[in-house]
């Protein structure tokens, strides 16, 4: 199975992608997570991406395409993957088409999670992440553990992503409308878009997602 997840920042793509990839036993490829990891390790790519990410801008297409190409080339990508956060504009969509045609692969589904902006701002502004294990919390709906221990038991370091600051959130939503909006319409006009209401609870979005893909819940 090869899938693409599209949707605005904060819609819950990453959470749904993680669960579905596990269920389907395919690779979850999040370009945002790869970039944050590169940044954390201080690699050239990470340092190059930092200023774009901090400002809520898109990292240059060529940089992200290379990350995806490299990830596809690894052995664990052979049984399928779920792309979360890529492609994000029409140019990346065309680049992905080109890459898939070289690899003689096709996409099975493109899923679009929709949600209104007020809810996205509420979700992103309250989001907190554990730097060590990647767990995501929300100060209102799923507060981080007070003692700094995640459910996985280890010592945690809860932080707010720099691109979850108020200014960066508004910028990211604006970038999403301008850059990703046309890509969504492109897939919609091709009749390839599966639309899921991302404004619901995590569990309900999961149920709708699996229903739309014809999978067991
Ligand atoms: P995300 O975790 O998907 O919200 O991505 C966090 C940030 O990483 C974005 O705001 C961008 O700066 C960068 N990023 C992730 N994926 C892409 C992409 N496909 N193209 C350009 N920049 C990206």
Interatomic CA distance for residues 73 and 166, integer angstroms: 37
pLDDT single digits (tens) 113-122: 999 999 999 9
Mean pLDDT (the chain) is: 93
CATH 3.40.50.150 assigned to domain 2-26+79-212? The reply is no
Q: What torsion, rounded to 10 degrees, do the Cα atoms 125, 127, 131, 136 define?
A: -160
Interatomic CA distance for residues 215 and 193, integer angstroms: 17
- Ranges 15-24, 144-153, 155-164, 200-209: which has the least confidence: 144-153
Q: One of 172, 178, 188, 192 is an active-site residue; which one?
A: 172
Q: Does the annotation mark 192 as catalytic?
A: no
Query: What is the SS3 string spanning 86-149?
Result: CCCCHHHHHHHHHHHHHHCCCCCEEEEEECCHHHHHHHHHCEEEECCCCCEEECCCECCCCCCE
Percent of the chain with pLDDT over 70: 96
Q: For a ligand 1 pocket test, name from 35, 47, 66, 94 the mutation site with the most ligand atoms within 8 angstroms of its C-beta.
A: 35
pLDDT single digits (tens) 73-130: 999 999 999 999 999 999 999 999 999 999 999 999 999 999 999 999 999 999 998 8
Q: Does the annotation mark 132 as catalytic?
A: no
Q: Please state the domain extents for the chain.
A: 2-26+79-212
Residues with CB under 6 Å of ligand 1 are 9, 31-32, 35, 52-53, 56-59, 64, 85-86, 88, 92, 163, 172
Q: Does the annotation mark 188 as catalytic?
A: no
Q: What is the pLDDT of residue 151?
A: 62
Tell whether the model's pLDDT for residue 178 goes beyond 70.
Answer: yes
Interatomic CA distance for residues 187 and 4, integer angstroms: 11
């Amino acid at each position: 199975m090869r899938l693409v997840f599209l949707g605005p920042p904060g819609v819950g793509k990453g959470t749904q992608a993680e669960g579905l990839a596990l269920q389907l036993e395919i690779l979850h490829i999040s370009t945002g997570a790869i970039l944050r990891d590169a940044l954390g390790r201080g690699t050239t790519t990470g340092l190059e991406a930092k200023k774009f990410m901090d400002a809520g801008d898109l990292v240059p297409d060529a940089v992200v395409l290379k990350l995806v190409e490299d990830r596809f080339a690894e052995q664990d990508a052979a049984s399928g993957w779920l792309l979360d956060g890529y492609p994000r504009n029409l140019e990346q969509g065309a680049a992905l088409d080109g890459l898939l045609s070289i690899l003689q692969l096709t996409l099975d589904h493109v899923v679009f999670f929709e949600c209104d902006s007020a809810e996205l701002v509420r979700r992103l502004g309250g989001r907190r992440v554990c730097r060590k294990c990647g767990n995501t919390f929300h100060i209102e709906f799923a507060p981080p553990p007070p003692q700094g221990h995640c459910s996985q038991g280890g010592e945690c370091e809860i932080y707010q992503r720099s691109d979850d600051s108020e200014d960066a959130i508004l910028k990211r939503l604006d970038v999403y409308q301008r850059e990703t909006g046309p890509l969504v319409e492109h897939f919609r006009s091709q009749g390839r878009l599966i639309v899921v209401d991302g404004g619901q609870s995590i569990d309900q979005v999961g149920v709708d997602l699996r229903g739309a893909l014809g999978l067991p819940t």
